[in-house]
Amino acid sequence: MKITKVEAIPFAIPYVKPLRFASGEVHTAEHVLVRVHTDDGVVGVAEAPPRPFTYGETQAGIVAVIDQIFGPQVTGLTLLEREVVQARLGRTIGNPTAKAAIDMAMWDALGKTLDLPVSELLGGYTDRMRVSHMLGFEEPATMVAEAERMVDTYGIRTFKVKVGRRPVSLDTAVVRALRERFGDAVELYVDGNRGWNASESLRAMREMADLGLLFAEELNPADDVLGRRWLVGQLDVPFIADESVPTPADVTREVLGGSATAISIKTARTGFTQSQRVHHLAEGLGLEVVMGNQIDGQVGTACTVAFGAAYRLTSQRAGELSNFLDMSDDLLTEPLDIRDGELVLRPQAGIGIEIDPDKLARYRTDG
Ligand code: MUC
Ligand code: MG
């Protein structure tokens, strides 16, 4: 169970169509595959998605920090020394997806070593999650057409609508068009990625008051401290903190400060070990939780559903598990399969996936 090597392999897979939102856009999945090798010959895998517009990490930076700092810090430890790993990686502030991928690849290796699924090791609550699909910026008719395709092809009935454009009517028109098209047959919530200020956010939420939204997410910056508190105090739906809470300490600060009333858990940034802490904190505080999407590929999505299905709280709401559908290809031998609006866990050990060596050879960009 001793870690002998940590590999960080950059790869690039184009999107069929770009995803656009208030803080940026994604055209190609330029991610990093992390492989943790042990002295038993076991290899655990996970992926780190750089989000320069959110956390400041880049693909080259993730490879460098793993090769030069985090890899050497964990090599020689066993897969059971996860708290030692957390303490060592935690000395460095930031680099959330690089740290998370190492943690999840270790859990995958542990599951494979013990011949048990990670989701069962974590909590074993259920074997599936309902799927929520994220709709990026387009014209209302295009976004409605994409939602129709998701309903018809995959049975998905929960949509997170990206908002945060100006004027706010650009976005409120989309949400209204979706509600008019689908009536009560779909669940809708909105995510602003900090695009609006507090008063624009409140105006938009009032314009959409009759549209039955489940949540509002990160409509304005959390650093508008008083504005954010003012906004959250006036809403009658839970306000989800996403990129403002990359650590358990941030969750505590934002929630106790009145700047959030619900939490997005993203395994891409808190791995499994820190996501457990966020989950336990949310449970103790009585907060709603959504399993979020860091625009993950299939490796990252397998991690999200493994964690989300492990606990009652994280499996209540639909998880954001479908954005890999916009990618032209992926790395798995057997693609994830969304059916009847659900993603079902694979019964295999670890996170239940296998990397296709030919696909990795085709898409890796390190020579
Ligand atoms: C989301 O929920 O915000 C877009 C930016 C980011 O950091 O994550 C995605 C999705
Ligand atoms: Mg978000």
Average pLDDT over residues 156-164: 98
CA of residue 143 to ligand 2 center, whole Å: 18
- Quote the CA–CA distance of 177 and 194 in Å, as a whole number: 23
Same domain as 65, residue 138: no
Residue 5 annotated among the catalytic residues of the structure: no
CATH number of the domain to which 201 belongs:
3.20.20.120
Using one digit for the tens of pLDDT, what is the confidence trace for 52-82? 999 999 999 999 999 999 999 999 999 999 9
Range(s) of the domain holding residue 316? 120-344
Same domain, yes or no: 136 and 109: no
Distance 159 CA to ligand 2 centre (A): 13
- Pair (158, 85) in one structural domain: no
Does residue 67 sit in the same domain as residue 105? yes
Cα separation, 300 vs 327, whole angstroms: 13
Cα 77 to Cα 74: distance, rounded to the nearest angstrom:
6
Q: Going by CA atoms, what residue is nearest to atom 6 of ligand 1?
A: 294
Please give the pLDDT value at position 367: 81
Q: Residue 246 — pLDDT band, cuts 50, 70, 90? A: very high
Q: Same structural domain for residues 236 and 128?
A: yes
In a shared domain, residues 252 and 209:
yes
Question: Which tens digit of pLDDT belongs to each residue from 82-120?
Answer: 999 999 999 999 999 999 999 999 999 999 999 999 999
Same domain, 72 and 161: no
Q: Per-residue pLDDT tens for 16-51?
A: 999 999 999 999 999 999 999 999 999 999 999 999
**84 and 134 in a common domain:** no
**Cα 2 to the chain's mean position, in Å?**
29
> Which residues approach ligand 1 with their CB closer than 6 A?
21, 23, 51, 54, 191, 193, 242-243, 292-295
